[in-house]
Amino acid sequence: MAVRKFFSLYGAMLLKNMRESTAYKFDFILGILAHLLIQASSLLLVMTVYTHTDSMGGFTFEQSLILYGCSLLATGIEEFFLHNVWSISRHVNMGTLDSVLLRPVKPILMLVMDGTSIHGFILGICGVVCLIVGFAQGGISFGGWKCLWLILCSVSGAFIIFSITLIMETLAFWFTDVVNAVVMVDNLRQFVRYPITIYQPFIRNILIFIIPYSFTSFFPAALMLDMEEYSYYAYFTPLIALSMVIIASLFFQFGLKFYHSSGGGQ
């Protein structure tokens, strides 16, 4: 499918997704309020920690705010554009992957296009607010170069989160119900909302080399904060994202062969 046609379809599907998310108004408004509350309480937790100490793992409050903002931005992009990857295990379990496989579009693209979490938008905005406050209050320099890398790293971060979730969700082709495992791995992302310098090397290495969530927040933040010790890692973020997307997609393609749908009763 030509790139132009893909984006035309993607746009139409995104519009459809927005319509679907706002179809039930009460649910929509309640969802927004709930997400704002969750963000506020997480932020409150960070603020509470800093009433007891001036520095956490070498990060001041403003620096932590930037770290938190980077994490939210990547999460927000993932939730808004790529979040439907979470539906794979449900589709496999219920046999509804059938209709996805009947479309003349690559199954993984079809899946990603077919849903959005509009709350990603809220997360993104919260992230931007955290970043603005962090940069302004902390007196940290910001410019075109950093802006470019912030965007690049956030998008890459979103794709890293997406790829890890895709790999976990693909396990559903063999184990049918994998929601708990996916949630467990995804919860590791809670760790990277704080400087990974505060963790034991063991956990730190897992978050860098095995499940590289630290590239969705810590390393981009280090680049924003001119922390020379870690900022070099950030330049690898797009490369890591790209290779993870390729690995995850191939794994998903392989898993498709093992899809066994559901019985005739459906």
Partner 1 sequence: MSQIVVNDLHKDFYVNVSKGSGVTGMVKSLFSREKKTVEAVKGLDFKIEEGEMVGFLGPNGAGKSTTIKMLTGILTPSNGEISVCGLTPCKKRQQNAKNIGVVFGQRTQLWWDLPVKESFLLLKKMYEIETGTYEDNIAYFTDLLDMEDFLDRPVRQLSLGQRMRCDLAAAFLHNPKIIYLDEPTIGLDITSKKRIRECIKETNRKRKTTIILTTHDMADVEQLADRVMVINHGKMVYDGDMAGLQQQYRRSRNVVFTLKDSRVAFTGFRMDNQRIEWQQRAEELILKVPASVSAGEMISLVMAQYPVEDVRIEETPIEDIIEEIYNQ
Sole binder of partner 1 in the list 27, 33, 49, 98 (CB under 8 A): 98
Q: How many residues line the site for partner 1 (CB under 8 A)?
A: 30
The H or E element that residue 231 is part of is helix 228-234
Q: Is 20 in the site for partner 1 (CB under 8 A)?
A: yes
Q: Minimum Å distance from CB 30 to partner 1?
A: 17
Q: Minimum Å distance from CB 240 to partner 1?
A: 29
Q: Is 261 in the site for partner 1 (CB under 8 A)?
A: yes
Report which of 70, 171, 81 is spatially closest to residue 119, judged by C-alpha positions. 81
d(CA 250, CA 48): 44
Q: Is 101 in the site for partner 1 (CB under 8 A)?
A: yes
Q: Minimum Å distance from CB 107 to partner 1?
A: 8
Comparison of 96 and 231: residue with beta carbon closer to partner 1: 96
158: Cβ–Cβ under 8 A, 6 or more apart, which residues?
Answer: 74, 75, 77, 78, 81, 82, 216
Sole binder of partner 1 in the list 69, 76, 107, 124 (CB under 8 A): 107
Please say whether the beta carbons of 115 and 87 come within 8 A.
yes
Stretch of 5-13, 45-53, 66-74, 225-233 contacting partner 1, by CB under 8 A: 5-13
Burial zone of 226 (CB within 10 Å; 0-12 exposed, 13-18 middle, 19+ buried): exposed
